[in-house]
Amino acid sequence: MKKQKGRGLFVFLCAAPAVLLFLVFMVYPTVSVFRLSLYKWSGLNPNKEFVGLNNFKILFADMNFVRSFQNTILLIVVVTIVTLGLALVFAAILTREKIRGQNFFRVVFYIPNILSIVIVAAIFSAIYDPKNGMLNSLLNRPAGEEILWLGDQKIVIWSIVIALIWQAIGYYMVMYMASMASIPLSLYECADLEGASHVRQFFSITIPLIWSNIRTTLTFFIISTINLSFLLVNAMTGGGPDGATEVFLSYMYKQAYTNSSFGYGMAIGVVVFTFSFALSAVVNAITRRETVEL
């Protein structure tokens, strides 16, 4: 009995700091966001006016918010599909094919991930520069007819998409390579004997055996895209031109800290939290399948 009590006390003392930190830095701020979303408050004075769900009524009639919502959905769908798709293809090539300098390519692909998002923004801002940028130079655009990669409302969001893909692809490629390395070569040898092409082997052997890893990275990447898109947009365009690159978190930040509409900003935060949680649940439900074991 004393041993059980002593063991229980030991477990409690070990878990208590982590639980306390979780409550203070995760649960309490989240509850505070939900609470403050019900108030009209500038965030600069102690006076708060309780308005109930009025912030949410204004929010869903706000076309600027709707536009930021559309931009976020676009980034999540396009960046996720392209990044994870290319990461899988590159991982399969570098894992299975005999290519000179494989380790060199692994390092080169991974380098963008270790760079600060501000540095990534600076690199692509220089590339997209209309007068001295590398992209317009390669396209040989004459003076006065340069493409405004970060100034044209029709293409600026796609410039952000390319930067996000370039920054993330190496990290997920390395993760998939680690999973693919655990697949027995005998499976591929048997498939070769049966006459299966490398493409068929990729979809019939590789993908099913690393599916659990794909599911995990898919959910993780969707959430990280919401966060990284804010950082990249804030550093490259500030949400412009004319709100063409505004995303969830950049619009929330402007409302809460620039326009002194803190309660309204927290209402946006509640929508972002709910949307992220719901989207993760939907993705997990859609991608659930029976685990294939070796």
Q: How far apart are CA 65 and CA 268, in angstroms?
A: 8
The residues with which 40 forms a beta bridge, in sequence order, are: 49
> Is the per-residue pLDDT at 141 higher than 60?
yes
Give residue 220's pLDDT. 87
Nearby residues of 175 by Cβ (< 8 Å), 6 or more positions away: 87, 213, 217
Give residue 183's pLDDT. 87
The residues with which 39 forms a beta bridge, in sequence order, are: 50
Unique residue bearing structure tokens 């655009």:
141
> Is the per-residue pLDDT at 1 higher than 80?
no
Question: What would the mean pLDDT of 18-29 be, rounded to a whole number?
Answer: 90
Percent share of the chain, pLDDT over 70:
96
> Is the per-residue pLDDT at 240 higher than 60?
yes
Give residue 292's pLDDT. 56
Q: What is the pLDDT of residues 156-189, one digit of tens each?
A: 999 999 999 999 999 999 999 988 888 888 888 8
Q: What is the pLDDT of residues 37-93, one digit of tens each?
A: 999 988 778 888 888 899 999 998 999 999 999 999 999 999 999 999 999 999 998
Residue with more model confidence, 290 or 294: 290
The residues with which 50 forms a beta bridge, in sequence order, are: 39
Under the phi-then-psi rule, with left for phi > 0, alpha for psi from -120 to 50, and beta for the rest, what region is 242?
A: left
> Is the per-residue pLDDT at 293 higher than 60?
no
Could you give the 3-state DSSP secondary structure of residue 218? helix
Q: What is the pLDDT of residues 245-288, one digit of tens each?
A: 999 899 999 988 887 788 999 999 999 999 998 998 898 888 88
Please, is 26 exposed, middle or buried when counting C-beta atoms within 10 Å of its C-beta (0-12, 13-18, 19+)? exposed
Give residue 2's pLDDT. 59
Query: Cα–Cα distances in Å, from 55 out to 32, 59, 167?
Result: 15, 6, 35
- Fold designation for 45-286: MetI-like fold (1.10.3720)
38, 53 Cβ separation under 8 angstroms? yes
Torsion from C-alpha of 228, 233, 239, 245, nearest 10 degrees: -80
**N residues, the chain:** 294
Unique residue bearing structure tokens 């076309």:
63
Unique residue bearing structure tokens 């403050």:
36
Query: Cα–Cα distances in Å, from 99 out to 27, 56, 61, 102, 282?
Result: 49, 55, 55, 6, 39
Give residue 4's pLDDT. 67
Give residue 173's pLDDT. 92
Question: What would the mean pLDDT of 4-10 be, rounded to a whole number?
Answer: 72
The H-or-E segment that residue 145 falls in is: none
Give residue 294's pLDDT. 54
Indicate the pTM of the whole model. Answer: 0.87
Is the bond preceding residue 29 a cis peptide, omega within 30 degrees?
Answer: no
Could you give the 3-state DSSP secondary structure of residue 39? strand
